[in-house]
Every structure is written in structure tokens, then in C-alpha cells.
Structure 1
Amino acid sequence: MKTEVKALVVGGGAVGTSIAYHLARAGWSDVMLLERDELTAGSTWHAAGLLPYFNMSYATTHIHDYSIKFYKTLEEETGLDAGFFVVGNLRMAQTQARMDEYRLYSATAETCDVPHEFLTPAQIKERWPLVRTEDLLGALFHPTDGYINPADVTMAMAKGARQRGVLIERKWQVDGYTWHGDHWQVQVTKMAERGGNLVPTEESVVIRAEHVVTATGNHAQRTARMLGLKTPAIPVEHQYIITEPDPALVAWRAEGNPQHPVLRDADAKWYVREERGGWILGPYERGAPACFRYGVPDSFRADLFPLDLERIEEEYMSMIHRIPTSETVGLKDDFNGPICYTPDGNPLLGPAPGLRNMWLAEGFSFGITAAGGAGYYLAQLMTEGEAAIDMASLDPKRYGQDWMTTDYAVTKNEEAYEHVFILHHPDEERPAARPLRTAPAYERQKALGAQFGHVNGWERPNYYGPLDAPEHFDHDARSFRRGGWWPYAEAEARAIRETVGIIDASAFAKHVVKGPGATAFLDHFTCNKLPKVGRINLTYALSVKGTTRTEYTIVRLAEDEYYLVSAGAWHAYDEDYLQKAAEDFGMDHGWFTVQDVTTQWGVYAVAGPNARALLQGLVRDAEPETVLGNKRFPWLSMRNIELGMCPVRAIRVAYTGELGWELHFPMEMGLYLWDQLMAAGAAHGLKPVGARAQNWLRQEKSYRAFGTELGRDATPLEADLPRFVDLSKDFHGKAAMEATGIRSKCCTLLIDGPADADPWGREALYHGDTRVGRLTSGGYSVAFGKSIGMGYVRPELAVPGTKLLVRMMGDLWPAEVVEDSPYDPANARIRIDG
């Protein structure tokens, strides 16, 4: 047992062995892996081994793509057969909505070069006559994936890791982590088998590790407690059954026919694959319970739960319907084991919140599919500072430490399991564990017909539907095309362009940085000039690779005091980076503090041609008629004002591109201020507005959004934002940004698309027959009466007038690159005086 290593990987399942392998392949020669039992003893051993490409996430698609390609190389490298059966994957569709889902996914797959094709029912029947097809509309087929033996692929990666110098130690349990400024001390205990149980011995060792990676699967709760963290990674029971041989299938194979692809009837919520002449049925049924909410019992090893056949009866009968020959075959075996989940079904992969050199790889509900790519991209993140893809959507900090609880995780993980085969609309909003975090005016907004989205636990209006909506209107409004919500969002967007609208933006993340060293720190931390007192600037904090790590609106409250506003969905993600950057910068330039004030301040954005007139009636000032004019309150400035009895930090900026103000108010006064604004706004055409209309409007102004146009895979210069980068000063990531150059460039496009659909922001872009980029945002423009989108293309094509094509619902539609801020490019409406 070594007691000093550069990197210690904890967990010997598919994910842990992949990480150890890839760290060694990336050049770290001193890597050790610990497993408390035997390799694959966790969920890996009972996994069904499927390798589905299908995922709506750009990052996760790349991870799955890498895994599938990597596993095919392991036998040549290690001499061990990884047990990969490349039989393909057939996703069947019974409804038009499901086909629309596949077409939208196809756009993501196309941008990632994932091979796929669409099949008709007749083509399915011709290839696989055992499958009933008369009630199908079609299918999506991936010819290059299939299934793999989880134990075999894990052992192959383990051998590859050993060949590259990784030390793998079994029967060692981690019992504690302590950070010592530049390394971790990890307390480990030797485990021994006694009476079939695994028990600790008196042998104990302390390992010094510069970096630690936890890939502890079902034991994630125990790991989190040792690290002083909260994690939503909690297992859910997953059942699958294996049938006796099906005579029809045996005869089919005896005739020399190939294996069936992995069959997925998404509308029936199951997958089926061949297994020794029979079938494996894996359902994702309702009512599957979470387990081990506080940790795995010491007595639980490679164990299973009793089968609950009644729970999956509906799925079992639907398999018989889809494969009629399976009706007469008996059950041969069954598995019901724990699979770790997270509330959104994606893993927690990246740096741990608040900790140094601690990396999490937990919550892999599709661990075999993701293991190879997770190891590859996490190793890049650890050894190079950034990965080749933006990993933010998988970052462990997307579930804040200040609000996420065990009950929340259990409720959402059970929902995530049930939703594996639910239609994944791009405007999907899942209902479990809601409402949880509500802004003061939540009930008022609900009474006005607000249909809420879920952002970092906060309820945020997406749009305002009709007050007489049917009981399930919110669900029915989900769509891949222009759904039931569309006319309401269109009316909201038009109101901001023509009268005035109010948007609740209280979920914004907000921090105060203050002290004698605050200016020096922020000047180094961000790439733009810092504003003068009473003014604001938009700026970016960069990654070590010079890409965009965080977007901030900075308001300078005093010489040494700054108010930072960033995206609400990325609150903990931004705060962790800000706090760690402050620690790294140190106090050589004077002390300063970083304070999270998110829940102290609410925000209403009031925007539109009538915004000034509305606020004028509420403002309390010695000269109320001039307080909101350009002379006293110019664009991109801040003033403390009073609206009735509410003190407000007003910022003259509008994400919608109209005359407007962000009103930052004490959170406890939010209900009072909402009522005052709504009452005063009645005479000015005030309309409450949701996030979907706001998203459309900001695209008309070419305002980039973090998480879409802005992220760790593009620099601010590639985002075409040189006006927010001060190259005359030194700042973190500057040299890397300049060295990167312009690989692709962000632009805005107007699109002549189908009459019943708009882009969602994941579609492929073509120049003639050549794919040249992808959309990152999409929607509808009320100003131009057509679809609009933003995205990245080759730099020479990102010029106004370039004719492109965009893939929507399976077809290519004409699009044209337009000038930045196609609506009001001179910003005359924003600056209008009064």
C-alpha cells in the first residue's frame, strides 16, 4: 500500500476504473485506486450494460460518444475482450410527439457526429419480423452502439490502468478526509470478509494525496458526510427480468440472422435486448422507490432486493404486445438492485463545492454508458484545467448546498427514474418537490395564470396562461413545436415592445465584494474595465483556458464596494468560483470580503416604452419629474430610489432591449412592491412577462446568455464581445484567450422556418451541403415576425448577409446571418429620454 500519491481514486466500479485509466493516460504517473470490496461490487455488477447514445445534452452526448468509441479499442490495448456487442439501438415511437422528440434529438446528434437514421414501421418489420409494428409511427436507429458486459469492460479498463502504472488496491475503505493546505490526508481501513460480511480490521493507513476523486456510487451519501457536503446522489431500485429462451428467437438466430438491436419502446417505458436466446426486459416504471437515503448498510454488498413483479406488470404486458412470441416463455432470472440517481438524471462530475483538489464523480444512473467519457473529460479537467467540452451542465454545484435536502433528493430522484422514458420536451418542467423556493409575489403571479419553471430550486414564471385553463393546461403546453403556451408568450413579448412588462428575476445570484482590496481583485478577476461609482458594466470571469467561466453585471456602489449579479441557475457554481478566486488572489492589495446576498434582494425588471411613466407615478423624490430622466439617471447607471414605501436599488438596464430598469429591493418588501407596480401599471398597459418571452426578446438584441452562447467552450472574443474585453489590462485567462484565437464565432440569424415551430437552440447549421456550426439559442421574434436564433459558425460565415440553412424537424430551412442587435441596433429605444 502506497501512502503518498498524486491522485487517489476512491471507487472501483466502471466510473472509478475509467478515471484512474484516463488520469494515467493523460500523464499522471502516480495514481492509485481504492475499492472497499471487489472491483464491480457496486451497481456495476448488476447493470444491464446498455450503451444508449440518446441524450438531449450536448456535453453528455459527447461523453457517451467517447465511451462507445473507446470501449471498442480496449481489447487491442489490453488483450481483454470488453464484451461489446455492437447490435445497434432501436427507439420506437407510437406517437407523433415521440417522433418530434427524436427529430429534435437528431439535431443534437448531428452536431456531435453521432450516426443515426430514421426507420419506417415497414423497414422495422422487414429487418426484425418478431417485432410488432402496426401501431408504430417510426423509429430512430443508432447502428454503432449496443450493449456490453459491465464486468468485462471494467476489468479491461483496470488492466489498462495497471499497464499505465496505476496501483489498484481492493478491500480498503475510506473512513475520513482531511485537507492540509496543499494535499489531502485520507484515512483508510483494511476490510476483511467474516461470515459473508465485509468488516473493518485493525489495520489502518493514512494516505497523502494531492488530488482525490470520489466515484463511490451507492455510497455517495457516506462520502458526502465525510467531506461535510450535501449531495442529491441517492440510489433508486431498478428491476429487470430475463426470460427463458424464446423458440422463435432461437429459430431466428439459427437461420443465421444477427442479434436484434437493443429495443426501446419509449412510450411503453422499457428496453429489451437478447440474452442467451431469451429476452431481458428493463422497465422504468412508476413507483420505483429510492433506497439508502442516508447510506448503504454495512451488511449490503453485491446484494439485490426482492423482485416486485406487480410494479412492472404493465411494462411486462407491453413487452408481450411488442414481441408476441415472448408471451409463452417463462422467467429465468430477475434483478432488482440500487442504481444511483440525481434529480435531473445526469451525473455530478467535477470539482466539489468549497473544497480544493477534491473531484466528484457520483450519481451515474447510466454509469456504463458514461464511464469512458466521464473518465476522459474529467482527466482533462484535472490535468489541463479545462475539458474540451463545457462540463458546466454536469457540475456538482448545480444543486446548492444551502437549500438541497435529503427529502428533496429522494423525491426528485424517484421522479427522474420514472421520467427516463417520459417525453423530454425542451420546455420540460417536472412537478415533484415543488413549489420549494418561492419569491414574495409567487401567489400573486399564480393567481394571474403564471406557469412556473424551476431554476436552482426557485419558482420562476415561464409564461402567464389563461385564468380559465383546464386542469392539466401546464402539462399540455409542453411541446416540441409551438405549444399551447406560445400565443401567451408572444403576447408578453409584444407588450414589452409596445407598452410595458414586468419580469420577476429574483432568482438572480447576487454577491457583494467590498474592502480596500476589492478593486484590485475584481480588476484581475474580470476582463472588462470596472465601472465608476454609480455605474455598471457587463464583464466576464475567464477560465484558465481563456474561455467564459462566469458572466457578471457589476454595479459599483462605492470606491471599494461592488454588487455582482449573475445567472440564478448558476448561483452555487458562480459563488464557488468567486470565493476560490478570492482566496487565490489573497490580501496583498488589502483585505476584502465576498458576501452572498442572493436571498436578501429580490428583483423586478420593468421594461417597455411606458416603463418610465409607470415608475414616475411611484417614485418619491424632491423632483420626481426628473429623477428617471437621462440627465439624472442615464443608461447603465444605478441610483437608490424610493418607490412608495420601498427602498430600491434601481439599475437602468434591460435584458429585453427596451427602456427599462431592474429594481433590486429588500426581499421582504417584494409583495408590497409587486402590488404597487401592478396597481400603477394598469393605466400604462402593464403585463406580467415570463422567461420564454424574455428569451426571445434578448435574442432580438443579440444578448448572449450564460449556459448557451457563453461557456467554457468559447472565449468572449469568439462570442464576438470585444467591447467587453479590456486588452489594455492584465486579467486572469487573458494570455490563454489570446492564444486560442477565433475558432468559431457567435452570430444572430433570422430563420424562415416551419409555420408551427421555432428552433430551441440545438440545431445544426449548414452552408450549402456542409455543416458549419450549431444554434445555441432559438425562439420567435415579434419584431421580425419569424424565427430567430443565435449560434456559432466558422468565422468567415459570421457576417451579415450570409445565407445558411438550419435543421428543424428533420428538414433544412433558410436562415440569414444578420447584424448584431437586429432590433434597434443603435439602442435608441433604451436611451430614450423623458
Structure 2
Amino acid sequence: LLLDDVRVNQYASAHVLASMINRTGVDIVENCAVRLVKLDNQCRVIGAETDYGFVECDAFVDAAGAFSGGFFDRDVDPAIKQFPLHPLFYNSVVLEAEGIYTFPSTVVHDVDLNVYVSHSGRYLVCGGFDKHAFKLDNEDSLLLYGAEGSQLPEQWDFFVHVLEKLAKRFPALLNLPVARQFVIGEAFTPDGLPVVGALPSVPNYYCLTGMNGLVTTMAPGLSKVLAQRICGIEPELDVDKFDVGRFILLHCNKHYISQRATEVAGSVFSNFNPLYEWSSVRRLRLSPLHEELKEAGGVFGEVMGFEQVLYFSKGDVPWMKCGESFPLGKPEWFDHVAVEYRACREKVAIMEMSYLSKFEVKGQDYGVIYFLQKMCSANVDQPIGSAVFTGIQNYKGGYVADCTLNRFGQYEFFMTAAPDQQTRLRIWMQRHLTAEDKTSIHDVTSKYTTLCILGPASRMLMQELTDEPLSSFASFSCRKINIGCVSGIRAVSVTHCGELGWTLHCPNEFAQYIFEQLRTYGQSYDVQLAGNYAFNSLRIEKFYVRWGVDIDWMTTPNECGRSFRVDFNKDFIGKDALLEEMQMCPRRLFVQLLFLEHDMRRDPWPFGNEPIYRNGDFCGFTTSTSYAFTIGCQVSLGYINIDGMRTADEAADYVLDKYAVYEIEIAGKRFQVQLNLHSPDLPMVSSEHPYHYRPTQ
């Protein structure tokens, strides 16, 4: 309940905006249905068939809500018309309450029951969201046509689930007369976030849809963002998480999205956090090792349809993680993750990471080098066998992607990136290919099983399985090596979390054999299976960024302390913007924050996006967080605002002022933290282990 809250009438505001647009000379044509969008041979929109004839256009914006995606011809390839959304309806009822109730607030939300009551003049508008929301068939969608746009006929049979919750929270509502019921059609997406931007395969077909019941709140700002994109202007806000390119084709499957959308619809008011896991439509993308990992106690989450191991449990714990109320006090998985973490730092561990996006980039001549040099901000023209951490920047210097580029041949590269880059990174690179380029880009994510072997004893374990001399296999290098009886396995001496080790990209048919060999030979090293929670703790403790969480489309290397990876002696996309930024000072700095006093058993845990305060004044937000087992405290990463600073040295002095007091607020409680601009020195066990215990010795 917010005493000074406001309520927006979406119908009245739409009329006001329409009037304002009319006064600028824009024509609004009503009662004219758009029937079909026409594409040319280059897969670009050339116009639309309407009730008033064919209308040519340079850009088409699909803001049709529950209708979105229905304008393509049936013969169009499904891979082109990627619309990851499904129409559902949600209900609200208008009650007459004049002279009966005086509300202290405009709106009252019960976020546990997912219902609300809104005060509007002499009426109360009551509604909510429920996972049993009715799915609209194609035939039902025809009902959306009518004098009142997207309003459907009353559906009391389907409102009963919401009504029961309203009666439980507000029993007196049952005594009020009903004025009418609203049934509103809306489009819901697989992750509960809107879809904004151009379709990956149709560059001038723009989407502004999938509002998931929050259209009044989000539409005005996102409309401005999309208008800027159409005009070639970079938005001032980070909206990359809304980009339609975050999805892959399976998210557009109607069987998939119809099942996931109902769960999303029932969770509209939920306060999601990074540990939340959807329960619907699971077990879609399984690595060849899934059943073996499951038998070993793996507890799985889901990322891009992949079942991803979060941690390994020794007890009777369901293998599939669903939901997650972020812990108040130490979570049940903490001790399991501690064991996995120690194995990564002190012995050897195996992580299955097949969910990483993987691409083969090949060429016939040095054209592929020129292309990658233009795409990447680091110098990737390194000798064969090199592995390079590099950003791929946009024209303002922000991160399109943060990836590892491995050179396995003269014109052969293997690229790995974050899981949700599988579509958008490929599209970004392909759109920058010219007709003269003889470069091919292939998504091979589903072709390889990825295993990460990390820890001080990883070299000795690997050496027992390969005839390749690993003493000369330096960090940040790559080779094709033999593992047991299998040849040609792509090995990269990078672990993405700062520990010694290798990442193996194994063709799926060899994955089971290689995994068994690693576990068999690893017994003498007390090898441990580890999951994503341990990986997260390792990377945050060492100040490693993660794309989509710590860095994004709006973040530059100067802001996140990664400009040392940028080679300004060559041309690349975004170079001019970064050089201009370096002449002044970034608007914010990426920092590491160590909690000084936090009771892990009683206090609420941080999970990202908490406000940061400097001497009592707000100064930024955290991005990601985890418990750091070596340091022995909670650690967050985040950004401190430094607007007004003239030089980087001045900014560093300001941020590191010894009299400055920094705090992070969690659930209304502030915790004092220590700020670092660089990762702390962590004790490290020798990477060689000249002797290791064997039962027979």
C-alpha cells in the first residue's frame, strides 16, 4: 500500500496521446484492419495489406498485443516470423462503492495472492493474475475484434480463481454490487519481459509487444525507446534485456509458449530474483550427460531451454529447481556449494557448461581476420593456438557481447559467449558481413558438450588422459588434443572464473566417454562435480564480469575496468566513442563491495540490484552477488556514479576516499561495505601438486 501512489487511466491517456499526435500532423486511421505484411526477396517489409488497400512502408511496427505476429503469410518460414509470445486474458471486475469505502491509497496490492484493488471515483476495480488464465485459440482470437478493441465478452467461469483470492483478502467486497467485468487480452512472453526491437530475420519489422499485463506502466517509455531505435538513435536506457533476439526458435513454438505463458501470467506481481526458476516446459535441451549428472545429485535450473546444474546435493532433494524465494538466512544449498567451491580452489572439479553459446567462424582468406578485427575490440590477429578475451562493442562503445575467441587454424575460429547470445550475437555479426566477405558464421551450440576442468590438480588429471604435453599448454591458448581414445577435442586453457584449468568442447557422441574417463582418473585426485552456484562465487570473488548481468549494451570497457583488453591501434566498431569517453571520464565505475557485518543466518541475503549509498546518499546499484568462501563474507559487484569527475584519477580518489562510508540496502536494512576497484589478493594452492595421494602408494 503506497499512500501517495497514483493511478493512470489507460483509455483516457491513450486518447490524450492520440490528440497530441494528431496536432503534429500524423493521421490515425481507425476501424481499418491490417491483414498481411508483405516481404521482398531480401526479407524486408515493403508494405501491408489493409482493409483500405496496400500501404507501402519503410518500417512496420507490430504493437498489436494479443494479435502480435499474426500478420505474416502462412507460407513464410517459421524461422523468420519468430514471435515468442502467446495471447491470454486476465480479468478485473468493477464494483460500485460510492459512499461505502474511503481508500487511503489509490491501489492496494496483495503480492502474495497476486490480486489488487484500485480506487477509481465511485468504483473499485478489483482483479489479479492467476496461472489458470484461459488460453486463447485462433477462433477465440476473433472475439478480440469489436467496438472496444481488445476487450472480450465477460468470462465469469474463468474469473473464479481470482475471485476466491480477492474474497480471502477483502471479504467485504462480496457485498458490493457489480457494475461490470473486464476481460483484457494480452500477450505473455517466456520470461515475463516485453519484446522490443527488430525481428532477427526481418530488420525493418519492429516489435513492441509482450507486455505481460503491464502495458500501461511500460508502453510509454518503451515506445520512446523503439522510436529512437527506428530513427537510428541509441536509447539512453539499457533495454537489451527486452530485445527479441534474446530468444531462440524453441521459445516461439506454440506448444512451448502456451504452457510457459500461463505460469508467467500467474506471476505478474512476483518479485523475481536471479535464483528464480520456471517450472513449466522443462527437460527440453539436455546434454548427453544429463542423466549421469542427475544420478550424482545434480539440482538443475534452466537457461535458454538447457537444464543447467546449479549444485550437487547428497540428500533427498528434487532434481529440478522450481521457483526460489531468496533466502532470509543461510540457504539449504550453502554447504553443498562450499564443498564444490573448495574443490575448484584446492583440488579439481568438473563443471558441465554446454549451455554456452558456441559459433564457428571460418573464412577462405585473410578476410575473416579483417572481419573479426572490425567486430572485436581486442586484437584477435594472434598466432594459431591463441585464446583471446574480447568485447564486441556497439557504435557507442557498449557491449554487444563479451566472448572468448579461439584460433584453431589460419582462418578457423571458435567463439563462445553467454547463453542468451545464441541468436543476437549471430545476427549482429551476420548483419556486418558484406557481399565481398567470404566468411561463414555457424551456430554450433547444440553440436558440442562443454566440460570445464578446473582447480590446482587439473593439469595432472588432464595429463593422465592425453599424450599432449600440458606443461607447454599455457593459459589463454587452445589446441585440438586427444582425450583417451578420442581425437581432435577442442581444448581451451580458460575457465571463465579465474581458476587454472581447461574448457573442453566435445562432440556430443564423445561426451559420455570423456566424462567417464575424467571421473575414473579423477578419483585419485578426489575430483568433485560442481555447479553454477560455485562458478558464480568464484567469478564474483575474483571480480570477473558476466555479460547481461554486470555488463550490457550500455556499459563501456572504460566503465567496467576492462579497457586494458581494448586495442586502440586498430579499427573496430565503437572505437571513436571509446576514445571520446577516455578524453573525459566515465559516468560510473565498476566496483567490488565486501560486506563488513552481515549475519548469514539471520539477515536477508543480497541478490543484485540493491541500492548503494555513499555517506548516506544514493550513488548506484549492485549488479550481482555471491558469498565469497575464501574472503569469508558476502561480496557484491556494482556501479558507483561519478558524474562530474574530470579525470580517471580524480574519480578513483573520490571513490576510494578513506573517509567515505559505503552501504548496501537489503530489504530496508543497510549494511556497511568495503569498496575495491581491484580484486583482492587471494591465497592460491600450487598449481603443480608434485605429489598427490594414491591408495596404493
Gaps of 5+ in 1: 1-89, 91-140, 191-202, 253-257
Residues 293 and 662 of structure 1: CA distance in aligned 2, closer, same or farther (over 3 Å): farther
Residues 654 and 286 of structure 1: CA distance in aligned 2, closer, same or farther (over 3 Å): closer
Q: 1:283 aligns with which of 128, 134, 152?
A: 128
Q: Structure 2 CA distance, aligned partners of 1:508 and 1:263?
A: 42
Residues 635 and 294 of structure 1: CA distance in aligned 2, closer, same or farther (over 3 Å): farther
Q: Structure 2 CA distance, aligned partners of 1:556 and 1:379?
A: 40
Residues 636 and 799 of structure 1: CA distance in aligned 2, closer, same or farther (over 3 Å): farther
Q: 1:730 aligns with which of 530, 551, 571?
A: 571
Residues 304 and 404 of structure 1: CA distance in aligned 2, closer, same or farther (over 3 Å): closer
* 1:521 matched residue in structure 2: 371
C-alpha displacement of 1:307: 4.5
SS in 2 for 1:717: coil
- The equivalences for 1:149-228 within 5 A come to 149-170=9-30, 171-179=32-40, 184-190=45-51, 203-207=52-56, 209-223=57-71, 228=80
Q: 2:503 aligns with which of 654, 657, 662?
A: 662
SS in 1 for 2:229: helix
Q: Structure 2 CA distance, aligned partners of 1:718 and 1:318?
A: 47
C-alpha displacement of 1:470: 6.7
Q: Percent identity?
A: 24
Q: 1:486 aligns with which of 309, 334, 359?
A: 334
Residues 446 and 684 of structure 1: CA distance in aligned 2, closer, same or farther (over 3 Å): same
Residues 379 and 753 of structure 1: CA distance in aligned 2, closer, same or farther (over 3 Å): farther
- The equivalences for 1:258-337 within 5 A come to 260-292=105-137, 296-297=141-142, 300-301=145-146, 302=149, 305=152, 307-309=154-156, 311-313=158-160, 315-337=162-184
Q: 1:350 aligns with which of 193, 197, 204?
A: 197
* 1:702 matched residue in structure 2: 543
Q: Residues 294 and 319 of structure 2 are in contact (CA less than 8 Å); yes or no, is this contact kept in structure 1?
A: no
Q: Structure 1 CA distance, aligned partners of 2:418 and 2:110?
A: 38
* 1:628 matched residue in structure 2: 470
C-alpha displacement of 1:259: 6.0
Q: Structure 1 CA distance, aligned partners of 2:204 and 2:599?
A: 51
Deviation digits for residues 362-387 of structure 1 (CA, Å, limit 9, x no counterpart): 21221111111111222223324421
Matched, 1:749 2:593: yes
Higher relative helix content: 1
Amino acid at match of 1:521: F
- The equivalences for 1:397-436 within 5 A come to 397-401=245-249, 404-422=252-270, 424-436=272-284
Residues 727 and 650 of structure 1: CA distance in aligned 2, closer, same or farther (over 3 Å): same
Deviation digits for residues 714-751 of structure 1 (CA, Å, limit 9, x no counterpart): 21121111221001111111101222341111122222
Residues 573 and 552 of structure 1: CA distance in aligned 2, closer, same or farther (over 3 Å): same
Q: 2:484 aligns with which of 644, 656, 670?
A: 644
Q: Structure 2 CA distance, aligned partners of 1:188 and 1:142?
A: 49
Q: 2:637 aligns with which of 773, 777, 790?
A: 790
Q: What root-mean-square deviation, in Å, do the aligned CA atoms of Structure 1 and Structure 2 show? A: 2.7
Q: Which stretch of the first structure deviates more once superposed, 652-661 or 804-813?
A: 804-813
C-alpha displacement of 1:467: 3.4
Residues 281 and 174 of structure 1: CA distance in aligned 2, closer, same or farther (over 3 Å): same
Amino acid at match of 1:382: I
- The equivalences for 1:48-127 within 5 A come to 90=1
* 1:37 matched residue in structure 2: none
* 2:669 matched residue in structure 1: 811
Deviation digits for residues 328-368 of structure 1 (CA, Å, limit 9, x no counterpart): 22323112232211122211011211222322112122111
Q: Structure 2 CA distance, aligned partners of 1:753 and 1:293?
A: 57
Q: 1:539 aligns with which of 390, 395, 419?
A: 390
Deviation digits for residues 414-436 of structure 1 (CA, Å, limit 9, x no counterpart): 11011224453431001100111
Q: Structure 2 CA distance, aligned partners of 1:830 and 1:216?
A: 58
C-alpha displacement of 1:177: 2.4
Amino acid at match of 2:54: V
C-alpha displacement of 1:557: 1.3
Q: Structure 1 CA distance, aligned partners of 2:42 and 2:531?
A: 46
Amino acid at match of 1:377: V
TM-score using structure 2 length: 0.89
Q: Residues 476 and 484 of structure 1 are in contact (CA less than 8 Å); yes or no, is this contact kept in structure 2?
A: no
Residues 726 and 481 of structure 1: CA distance in aligned 2, closer, same or farther (over 3 Å): farther
SS in 1 for 2:639: strand
SS in 2 for 1:521: helix
Residues 369 and 443 of structure 1: CA distance in aligned 2, closer, same or farther (over 3 Å): same
Matched, 1:245 2:245: no
Q: Residues 800 and 818 of structure 1 are in contact (CA less than 8 Å); yes or no, is this contact kept in structure 2?
A: no
Q: Residues 426 and 480 of structure 1 are in contact (CA less than 8 Å); yes or no, is this contact kept in structure 2?
A: no
Deviation digits for residues 44-86 of structure 1 (CA, Å, limit 9, x no counterpart): xxxxxxxxxxxxxxxxxxxxxxxxxxxxxxxxxxxxxxxxxxx
Residues 382 and 576 of structure 1: CA distance in aligned 2, closer, same or farther (over 3 Å): same
Q: 1:465 aligns with which of 299, 313, 322?
A: 313
* 1:72 matched residue in structure 2: none
* 2:206 matched residue in structure 1: 359
C-alpha displacement of 1:396: 0.7
Q: Structure 2 CA distance, aligned partners of 1:247 and 1:280?
A: 15
Residues 745 and 830 of structure 1: CA distance in aligned 2, closer, same or farther (over 3 Å): farther
C-alpha displacement of 1:468: 1.9
Q: Residues 803 and 817 of structure 1 are in contact (CA less than 8 Å); yes or no, is this contact kept in structure 2?
A: no
Residues 433 and 397 of structure 1: CA distance in aligned 2, closer, same or farther (over 3 Å): same
Q: Residues 638 and 652 of structure 1 are in contact (CA less than 8 Å); yes or no, is this contact kept in structure 2?
A: yes
Q: Structure 1 CA distance, aligned partners of 2:65 and 2:23?
A: 25
C-alpha displacement of 1:239: 1.4
Amino acid at match of 2:186: I
Q: Structure 2 CA distance, aligned partners of 1:744 and 1:304?
A: 45
Q: Structure 2 CA distance, aligned partners of 1:418 and 1:656?
A: 36
C-alpha displacement of 1:654: 1.6
Deviation digits for residues 575-607 of structure 1 (CA, Å, limit 9, x no counterpart): 111211224xx42xx521111111111210110
C-alpha displacement of 1:703: 1.2
In the alignment of these two chains, the number of paired residues is 662
Residues 424 and 376 of structure 1: CA distance in aligned 2, closer, same or farther (over 3 Å): same
* 1:685 matched residue in structure 2: 526
SS in 2 for 1:213: strand
Q: Structure 2 CA distance, aligned partners of 1:717 and 1:264?
A: 42
SS in 2 for 1:614: helix
Q: Structure 2 CA distance, aligned partners of 1:233 and 1:326?
A: 34
Q: Which stretch of the first structure deviates more once superposed, 545-554 or 215-224?
A: 215-224
SS in 2 for 1:169: coil
C-alpha displacement of 1:242: 1.8
Q: Residues 453 and 462 of structure 1 are in contact (CA less than 8 Å); yes or no, is this contact kept in structure 2?
A: yes
Matched, 1:371 2:219: yes
- The equivalences for 1:6-45 within 5 A come to none
Deviation digits for residues 634-658 of structure 1 (CA, Å, limit 9, x no counterpart): 1111111111233321100122222
* 1:717 matched residue in structure 2: 558
- The equivalences for 1:490-639 within 5 A come to 490-515=338-363, 516=365, 517-530=367-380, 531-583=382-434, 586-587=435-436, 590-619=437-466, 621=467, 627-629=469-471, 631=472, 633-639=473-479
Q: Structure 2 CA distance, aligned partners of 1:704 and 1:456?
A: 20
Residues 143 and 832 of structure 1: CA distance in aligned 2, closer, same or farther (over 3 Å): farther
TM-score using structure 1 length: 0.75
C-alpha displacement of 1:324: 4.3
SS in 1 for 2:235: coil
Q: Structure 1 CA distance, aligned partners of 2:545 and 2:324?
A: 30
